[in-house]
Amino acid sequence: MSLKPLLGASSLRLSAIYGAILVFAFALAGAGAWAASKSAAQGELRQRIQLEMEAMQEEFRIEGLPAAIAAIRAREANPGSLEYQLVDRRGRVLIGDLRAPGPQLGWSSIKLSETEAHEMSAESFLILTRATPDGGLLTIGDDLDRAEQVRAAVLKTLLWVGLGALLLALAAGVFATRAAVRRMSALSATMARVTAGEFTARAPEDGDDDVAQLGRGINRMLSRIGLLIADLKRVSVDVAHDLRTPLTHVRQSLEAVAQANDVDTANEAARIAQGKIDDVLRAFDAILRLAEIDSGAARARFGSVDLVALIDRVTDAYRPDIEAQGRSFTTYPGVPSLVVGDGDLIAQALANLIENAMNHTRRGAAITVSARHRDGEVHLVVEDEGQGISSADRGRVVEPFVRLDPSRSSPGSGLGLSIVSAIARLHGGQLILEDSEPGLRASVTFPARPHWRSSMSE
C-alpha cells in the first residue's frame, strides 16, 4: 500500500490527534507530579529530621552529652543515615560530618562547595538547627539531591511511559488505518466499476462496523438502481410497443385523408387520426403524472381529506355513464373517514378504479364503492362482477404498461392501476387486489388519522 492514501486517511489523523492529546496529558501529569513531588519530598525530609531532632534532644536531657555523642556516632555508621553536626558553646565541632558553617537556629538549606560536595557525595542539604541543654548547637540534615533523584525518576518513568503510549497509539492507528484504507479502496473500486457501467458490482460487507454498514447501504442503493434501470428499460420497450399501434393508425388515417375522393371520407379519416393522437397524448399525460407521483412532490399539498365527501363527488360524476351502460352502481361511504393526503390524487385513484371496473365488466354487472375501517386503517374499496384477475397476475398488473392479454383490445394505456398503486405508496398505504367471487375487489389503504380512532372509541 502506498504512503499517500495512508497519510491522507482520517483515521490516521485522528490517531495522531489522540497521540498528541495523550502526550499533552502525560506532560501535564509530569508537571503536576514535579510540583507535588517536590513539596512531598521536602515534607517527608522535614518530618524525618524533626523526629530525629526530638529523639536526640531527649537523649541529651536524659543521658547527657557523652551518650548523645555515642548515639550520633552509632547512627552515622548506618547506611542512608542522616547527617549530623554537634557544636559546643565555644563553636568547636564535637562530632559529625555535616559541614554547616555558622548554622542558624531553625530550618534552612545549604549548598556545599565542590570539594565539600565531593566528600559528602551531595551538593544540597535541608538542615534543622536547635540548641542543646548544655548550650551547644545540634544540626541534623538530609540530602536534598536524593529527593530530586526520586522526582527525576518519577518524571523519567512518566516520559518513557508516555513515549511508549504514543508509539503504541500511532502503531495502532497505522494498523487500523491500513485496514480502513484497504476497505475504503474496495468501496471506491466498486463505485468505479458501477461508474463504468457494471451495475452488478457489489461492495464488500464483511464485519459489523461503520465501513461494513456503509457497504451494505451502497449495495442496497445499487440493487435499487439496478431495479430502476431494469424498469426503465422495460418501460421504454412497453412505451414503444404501446405507442407503435396508435401511431401506425394515425399514419394510415392520414394516408386515407390524402387518398380520399370526397370531403366526408377525408373528415372521417381525420377524425380517426385525431382520436388516435388523443390516445397518445393521454398515454404521455399518464406517464408524466406517474413520474410526478413517484417523485413525492405532491406531499407539499397534503392536508385533511374527507373520504365520504370525496366518494360522493367522484361517484356522482360517474353514475350517469355507468347506469347508462346498464350496470348498477352502489356506494357505501360508511362512517366519517378522515385521512391525510392530496385530495385530487385520491380522487384520481378512485376514478381509475371505477374506470377499470367499467372496462372489465359486462352489461348488468354491479359496481360497488365503499369506505371501511380495519386495524387502524381506512380502506377505499371498489368491487365489480367482472372476470377478475388471477392471483398469479395481481403482482404484474400494477406495473407500468402491463396489460393482460384479454385487455389488449380494450382502450387504455396500461397505467391506470400503476398510478393507483403509486398514489397509495405516496400516502403510506398500498393497493390490494383480491378475488371478489366473482370479479375483483381493489382496496387502497390509508393510515387513519389519530383523532378518528379516538372518536370511534367514544
> Do 365 and 327 meet the contact criterion of CB atoms below 8 Å apart?
yes
Long-range contact set of residues 392-399: C-beta below 8 Å, sequence gap at least 24? 394/433, 397/433, 398/431, 398/433, 399/231, 399/234
**Which grid cell is 305?**
381529506
- Compute how many other C-beta atoms are within 10 angstroms of the C-beta atom of residue 407: 17
pLDDT in tens, 207-260: 777 777 888 888 888 888 887 787 677 666 666 766 776 788 788 888 888 888
The predicted model gives 93-101 an average pLDDT of 80
Phi, psi of 130 (to 5 degrees): -140, 155
> Could you give the CA distance from residue 384 to residue 375 in angstroms, rounded to a whole number?
24
> At residue 15, does pLDDT exceed 70?
no
Q: How confident is the model at residue 51 (pLDDT cuts 50, 70, 90)?
A: very high
Per residue in 336-364, pLDDT (tens digit) is 678 888 888 888 889 889 988 888 888 88
Cis before 5 (ω within 30): no
CA atoms of 130 and 327, how far apart (whole Å): 127
pLDDT band at 369 (very low <50, low <70, confident <90, very high): very high
- Strands 377-384, 440-447: pairing kind: antiparallel
Three-state DSSP at 26 gives helix
Bridge partners (DSSP) listed for residue 435: 440
Distance CA 391, CA 439 (A): 12
Label residue 53 exposed, middle or buried (CB < 10 Å: 0-12, 13-18, 19+): middle
Over the chain, what is the mean pLDDT? 78
Q: What is the pLDDT of residues 107-126, one digit of tens each?
A: 888 776 655 545 555 577 88
* pLDDT band for position 382 (cuts 50, 70, 90): very high
User: What is the distance between the alpha carbons of residues 395 and 143, in angstroms, rounded to a whole number?
Assistant: 94
User: What value does the mean pLDDT take over residues 2-19?
Assistant: 59
Residues 174-209: pLDDT tens digits?
A: 776 677 777 777 888 888 888 888 878 888 877 777
404 or 8, higher pLDDT? 404
**CA triple 257-258-261, angle to 5 deg:** 80
Highest mean pLDDT among 14-23, 32-41, 419-428: 419-428
- Whole-number pLDDT of residue 38: 67
- Please, where are the H alpha helices in 196-306? 210-259, 263-295
Strand bridging mode 328-332 / 366-374 = parallel
200 vs 30, 209, 213, 221, CA distance in Å? 58, 24, 19, 12
Band of residue 9 on the pLDDT scale cut at 50, 70, 90: low
Residues 391-434 have pLDDT tens digits of 777 777 777 666 555 444 455 556 778 888 888 888 888 898 88
d(CA 163, CA 161) in angstroms, rounded, equals: 5
Q: What pLDDT, on the 0 to 100 scale, is given for residue 452? A: 40
Distances (CA, A) of 432 to 243, 389, 441: 29, 12, 8
Scanning the structure block, which residue is given the C-alpha cell 362512517?
335
Confidence band for 451, pLDDT divided at 50, 70 and 90:
very low
Task: Convert the pLDDT of each residue in 125-154 to its tens digit.
Answer: 888 899 998 888 999 988 776 666 666 777
Q: Measure the CA dihedral 446/447/452/457, to 10°.
A: 110
Which tens digit of pLDDT belongs to each residue from 262-305?
A: 888 888 888 888 887 877 777 677 667 767 776 677 777 888 88
H helices of 296-391, in order, are 307-324, 343-359
Q: What are phi and psi of 91, to 5 degrees?
A: 90, 10
For 415, the 3-state DSSP assignment is coil
Residue 4, pLDDT score? 53
Query: Could you give all domains of the chain from N- to C-terminal order, each with its CATH number?
Result: 1-201 (no CATH), 227-293 (1.10.287), 299-457 (3.30.565.10)
Lowest mean pLDDT among 9-23, 324-338, 435-449: 9-23
Q: What is the pLDDT at residue 408?
A: 45
Question: Which of 35-39, 88-92, 386-390 is predicted with the least confidence, judged by mean pLDDT?
Answer: 35-39
* Length of the chain in terms of residues written: 458
The answer, yes or no, to whether residue 57 has pLDDT greater than 60, is yes
Q: Cα torsion at 219, 224, 226, 227 (round to 10°)?
A: 150
434-445: string of b/e by CB count within 10 Å (b at 16+)? eebeebbbbbbb
8 Å CB contact between 12 and 173 = yes
Top pLDDT among 334 and 378 is at 378
- How buried is residue 345: exposed, middle or buried, by Cβ count under 10 Å (0-12/13-18/19+)? buried
405 or 317, greater pLDDT:
317
Band of the pLDDT at 11, cuts 50, 70, 90? Answer: low
380 close to 446: Cβ distance less than 8 angstroms: yes
Report the alpha-carbon distance of residue 333 to residue 339 in Å, rounded.
14
Judged against a pLDDT cut of 50, whether residue 457 lies above it is answered with no
